[in-house]
């Protein structure tokens, strides 16, 4: 998000976003370096600077590792994985009421709910996914409400939200379809009622923004935290992340976008394969459901091959761990990317869906998602082909600091 364009209330105080600790200088040498900025590099080196950023990436024959650098070796290294959409950190391991903060059920429209106020940086699930190479989470309020709240981007390191934070307000999470009514006692009771309610919210937000903009003329509108956020969506500062599994819901989301002109990111999109032309024509990216998501409910027509179909249609997409209500409490994007390969993506395409393409969709590709000079030194080190079931993640670095060195 472009923080400068938002009301001050939306931007987190800069002091909270602490710089990473000073790191020892370090080099990673791997038989294959998946830079995600060009073809994989055989026998490459990644140099990590003291600032936790990537100093240099290149063939081992050309990059001299300076004296005093700690050298980690691996069969393969990739950028730290980016989970394009999760609720981890708001949703906890225990699955008891006190550790489930991803969905507030008092009202189906609550854009004012901030992710930073609910994120538990010490949550065990954060450590779990980190152990499998995930260094960045786009997390926050989950699917299940018409407007469930805000999302944010964090690193999987740090013991407070401030230490973990990358972007305090990234998108506004919305959901279309029958799942919403189930969570809110039939409010809305139908698909069409849900869309009508959302349209009304956007109309009110537009009026609110106009009133606030009038400034001195007449009585200014009182601040409304929710409308403020919806106005941010209308102004193009915040994308709407709309969970829409069936073709009907996907088309409804595209209609809303056309009517109100907001930036749309489709989420879930189980039946995207039925409306590829419409999605492509709208130029909308998709954060696809986990490859192994269960085929039931609104996802009853899901397939393991939608990633391939999005690829073939030229639609930008990323993979996500999504939301799980039971066992397992989260999925792991490393595994979901692997299964996308089993069902037709190439290894590089699947890696892109959990690195650079994911970073681009969440607006962080200038900082993460590929191994390039100046980007954060977030790395995952593997002892074999990264996506094979039996390969291990043997080290994970966040901003140049090893946060996991156990082969998992």
Partner 1 sequence: MPTAARAARTALACVLALPAAALAQERPLVVRGARILPVAGPPIERGVLVARDGKIIAVGAEGTVELPAGAEVVDATGKVVVPGLVDTHSHIGDGDGGDRSEPIQGDVRILDAIDPRSDGFRAALAGGITTVNVMPGSGHLMSGQTAYLKLRRGRTINDLLFCRDVLRDVCGGLKMANGTNPRGESPWPGTRGKAAAMIRERFVKALEYREKLRAAGTDSTKRPERDLELEILVEALDGRRVVHHHTHRHDDILTVLRLQREFGFRLVLQHVSEGWKVAPEIAAAGVPASVIVIDAPGGKLEAVDLSLRTGAILDAAGVLVGFHTDDGITDSRFFLRSAALAVRAGMAPEKALYALTMAGARMLDLADRVGSLEPGKDADFVILSGEPLALATRVEQTWVEGRKLFDLSDPADRLFAVGGWRAVRDAPFDHHDGMEGH
Nearest to 369 by CA among 35, 130, 100, 95: 35
CB of 293 to partner 1, least distance (A): 9
Give whichever of 124 and 259 is closer to partner 1, judged by the CB atom: 124
Give whichever of 124 and 277 is closer to partner 1, judged by the CB atom: 124
Asked if 296 and 266 touch (Cβ cutoff 8 Å), the reply is: no
State how beta strands 165-167 and 81-86 pair.
Answer: unpaired
125 binds partner 1 (CB under 8 A): yes
Give whichever of 340 and 403 is closer to partner 1, judged by the CB atom: 340
Asked if 154 and 186 touch (Cβ cutoff 8 Å), the reply is: no
φ/ψ (deg, to 5) at 154: -130, 160
389 binds partner 1 (CB under 8 A): yes
Nearest to 406 by CA among 397, 395, 398: 395
Nearest to 319 by CA among 279, 274, 269: 269
277 binds partner 1 (CB under 8 A): no
CB of 299 to partner 1, least distance (A): 9
98 binds partner 1 (CB under 8 A): no
Question: Pick from 82, 272, 302, 307: which binds partner 1 (CB under 8 A)?
Answer: 302
Interatomic CA distance for residues 364 and 381, integer angstroms: 21
129 binds partner 1 (CB under 8 A): yes
Question: Pick from 342, 366, 405, 406: which binds partner 1 (CB under 8 A)?
Answer: 342
Widest distance between CA atoms in the chain: 70
190 binds partner 1 (CB under 8 A): no
Give whichever of 88 and 205 is closer to partner 1, judged by the CB atom: 88
Give whichever of 49 and 178 is closer to partner 1, judged by the CB atom: 178
Question: Pick from 109, 319, 332, 358: which binds partner 1 (CB under 8 A)?
Answer: 332
CB of 133 to partner 1, least distance (A): 13
CB of 301 to partner 1, least distance (A): 5
203 binds partner 1 (CB under 8 A): no
83 binds partner 1 (CB under 8 A): no
The stretch near partner 1 (CB under 8 A) out of 73-81, 133-141, 161-169, 270-278 is 270-278
Interatomic CA distance for residues 360 and 318, integer angstroms: 9
* CA distances from residue 404 to 60, 114, 188, 398 in whole angstroms, order as listed: 24, 29, 45, 9
Interatomic CA distance for residues 314 and 139, integer angstroms: 26
328 binds partner 1 (CB under 8 A): yes
Interatomic CA distance for residues 101 and 118, integer angstroms: 6
Question: Pick from 178, 255, 388, 402: which binds partner 1 (CB under 8 A)?
Answer: 388
Using CB atoms within 10 A of its CB, is residue 42 exposed (0-12), middle (13-18) or buried (19+)?
exposed
Question: What is the DSSP track for 185-244?
Answer: TTSS-SHHHHHHHHHHHHHHHHHHHHHHHTTTSSSPPPP-HHHHHHHHHHTTSS-EEEEE
Question: Pick from 31, 343, 367, 402: which binds partner 1 (CB under 8 A)?
Answer: 343
189 binds partner 1 (CB under 8 A): no
Question: Pick from 5, 18, 94, 210: which binds partner 1 (CB under 8 A)?
Answer: 94
CB of 102 to partner 1, least distance (A): 13
CB of 149 to partner 1, least distance (A): 22
- Number of residues located near partner 1, criterion CB under 8 A: 45
Question: Pick from 66, 261, 297, 374: which binds partner 1 (CB under 8 A)?
Answer: 297
Strand order in the sheet with 401-404: 54-59, 41-48, 26-33, 70-79, 379-382, 393-398, 401-404
* CA distances from residue 80 to 60, 315, 362 in whole angstroms, order as listed: 21, 23, 15
The stretch near partner 1 (CB under 8 A) out of 36-44, 138-146, 340-348, 397-405 is 340-348
DSSP state of 5: G
The stretch near partner 1 (CB under 8 A) out of 39-47, 48-56, 121-129, 195-203 is 121-129
Q: Which residues contact partner 1 (rule: CB under 8 A)?
A: 92-96, 124-125, 128-129, 271, 273-274, 292, 294-297, 300-305, 324-332, 335, 338-339, 341-343, 385, 387-392
């Amino acid at each position: 998000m472009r923080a400068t364009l938002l009301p001050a209330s939306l931007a987190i105080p800069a002091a909270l976003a602490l710089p990473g600790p000073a790191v020892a200088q370090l080099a990673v040498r791997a038989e294959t370096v998946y830079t995600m900025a060009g073809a994989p590099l055989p026998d490459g080196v990644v140099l990590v600077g003291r600032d936790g950023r990537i100093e240099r990436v290149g063939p081992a024959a050309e990059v001299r590792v300076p004296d005093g650098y700690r050298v980690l070796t691996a069969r393969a290294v990739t950028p730290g994985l980016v989970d394009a959409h999760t609720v981890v950190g708001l949703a906890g391991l225990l699955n008891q009421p006190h550790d489930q903060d991803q969905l507030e059920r008092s009202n189906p429209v609550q854009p004012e709910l901030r992710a930073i106020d609910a994120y538990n940086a010490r949550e065990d699930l954060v450590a779990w996914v980190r152990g499998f190479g995930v260094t960045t989470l786009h997390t926050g309020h989950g699917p299940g409400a018409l407007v469930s709240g805000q999302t944010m981007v964090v690193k999987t390191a740090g013991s407070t939200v401030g230490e973990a934070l990358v972007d305090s307000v990234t998108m506004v999470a919305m959901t279309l379809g029958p799942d919403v009514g189930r969570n809110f006692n039939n409010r809305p009771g139908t698909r069409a009622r849900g869309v009508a309610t959302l349209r009304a919210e956007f109309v009110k937000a537009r009026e609110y923004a106009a009133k606030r903009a009038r400034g001195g003329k007449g009585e200014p509108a009182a601040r409304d935290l929710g409308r403020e956020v919806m106005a941010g969506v209308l102004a193009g500062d915040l994308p709407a992340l709309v969970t829409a599994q069936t073709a009907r819901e996907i088309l409804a989301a595209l209609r809303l976008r056309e009517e109100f002109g907001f930036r749309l990111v489709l989420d879930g999109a189980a039946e995207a394969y039925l409306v590829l032309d419409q999605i492509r024509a709208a130029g909308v990216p998709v954060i696809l459901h986990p490859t192994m998501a269960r085929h039931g409910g609104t996802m009853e027509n899901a397939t393991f091959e939608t990633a391939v179909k999005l690829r073939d249609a030229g639609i930008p997409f990323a993979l996500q761990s999504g939301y799980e209500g039971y066992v397992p409490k989260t999925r792991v994007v490393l595994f979901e990317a692997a299964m996308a390969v089993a069902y037709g993506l190439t290894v590089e395409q699947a890696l892109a869906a959990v690195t650079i393409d994911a970073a681009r969709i969440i607006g962080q590709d200038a900082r993460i998602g590929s191994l390039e000079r100046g980007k954060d030194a977030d790395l995952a080190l593997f002892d074999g082909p990264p996506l094979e079931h039996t390969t291990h993640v043997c080290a994970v670095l966040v901003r140049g600091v090893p946060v996991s060195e156990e082969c998992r």
